[in-house]
Amino acid sequence: MTRFTVNNQPVHYAMDPTTPLLFALRDASNLTGTKYGCGSGDCGACTVDIDGRAVRSCTVQIGALEGSFVTTIEGLSRDRNHPLQQALLTANVVQCGYCIPGIVMAAQALLRTNRNPTEDDVRVGITNLCRCGIYPRLVDAVLQAAAVTRGDETLEAAPPPDIDPADAAKDVPALSPIKR
């Protein structure tokens, strides 16, 4: 039996117990925010929260998770209102976005255990790789999210992700066709 909780929902995977959690989440649960990066646990793109710890999901087999609680980026906040997500958006940390879900999950695990991290704590606690080089802005954003979480600061929320494209383009003049 492979039964555990994913994003507060009980699941039972009818898959080989040696299946990496990453593939159970992506393929069986359609939770595609958790990304496949290296497959060896080095890059951190697949980081999820397992029982309060940041874990690289490509390195853990679902058979080892019986009774565990797993949180993916989708379970953290569907409407991107988590302080970490807001801080990363506000600081323009997100570039290509591929590594960001894993980084957010690593950062939230760090902030769960350390409500007042230093710059060094953030650098040591978040070892995810980002090919875009976001690290200076990432450190600042995590420190800002910590301050928001403690209630020391407020953050103006980024726009919600569910804006209808038709509404977003209402005031844009239509282009006329090219005449040849």
Domain boundaries, the chain: 3-72, 83-150
User: What pLDDT sits at residue 52?
Assistant: 95
Report pLDDT for 178: 55
The pLDDT of residue 155 is 82
Model pLDDT for residues 37-49, shown as the tens digit of each residue? 999 999 999 999 9
What pLDDT score was predicted for residue 172? 47
* Neighbouring C-alpha atoms within 13 Å toward the C-beta of 161: 8
Question: Largest Cα–Cα distance in the chain?
Answer: 67
Q: Which residues of the chain have pLDDT under 70?
A: 1, 157-180
- Output helix, strand, coil percentages for the chain, rounded to the nearest 5: 40, 10, 50
SS3 69: strand
Give pLDDT tens digits for 137-154.
999 999 999 999 999 988
Provide the CATH number for the domain formed by 83-150 in this structure: 1.10.150.120
**The CATH number of domain 3-72 is 1.10.10.60:** no
